[in-house]
Amino acid sequence: MAQAPQLSENPAKIPIPGAKQVWRLYDRHDVATVDLVTEPDEDPMTNDLIEAHHPYDAGVSTTIRRATIARAEPLLAPIGPDVVTTSLDELRERCRADVDRLDPGVRRLVNPHVYHVSLSDRVWRTQQTTIARARSARPESAGHG
C-alpha cells in the first residue's frame, strides 16, 4: 500500500516542485533586486507585470512592473560533457561582479537587508496545488512532525 506523501509543518521546509529556472532581475541602475524562480519555459521579461510570491508565506506577494526591470539574467545552465570549463580566476571575477551588483543594504555586515528570492505565479500555483494534494492525502490520524 502506497504511503501518503509527507509534508513538513514548517513552511520553509516545503520543497518547490518541478523543473525550474532562476532569473536575477536587475533595475535601471544595474542593481540586482530579486531572484525569481520560474518554470523552465517562463521568461519574466515577456510580461508587463511580474507576480513574485514569497516562497513559503502564501499571503505575501508583490507585483513588479516590467518597466522597472532593465534586464533579467538566467542563473541556471545545463551541464554536461560539452560544457566549457571556466577557470577559477574567471569564476572569482564573476562572483565579485555579482556581489558588486547587489544593493549596498544587502551587502552590509551589520543589519543587512534581506535579498528576496520569489516564486513566479506559475511556480507558486504548482506549489500550492502540491501542498493541497499532500494535505488532503494525509490520514486523519497522522501526527504533526
The more confidently predicted of residues 36 and 1 is 36
C-alpha cell at 107: 551587502
pTM: 0.82
Short-list 72, 70, 68, 67, CA closest to 120 = 72
Report the percentage of the chain scoring pLDDT > 70: 88
* pLDDT tens per residue, range 52-63: 999 988 889 999
Average pLDDT along the chain:
87
At 1 the pLDDT is 47
* pLDDT tens per residue, range 95-145: 999 999 999 999 999 999 999 999 999 999 999 998 888 888 766 544 555
C-alpha cell at 134: 499532500
At 75 the pLDDT is 93
- The CA angle 32-37-40, to the nearest 5 degrees, is 120
Residue 46 pLDDT > 60, yes or no?
yes
At 84 the pLDDT is 67
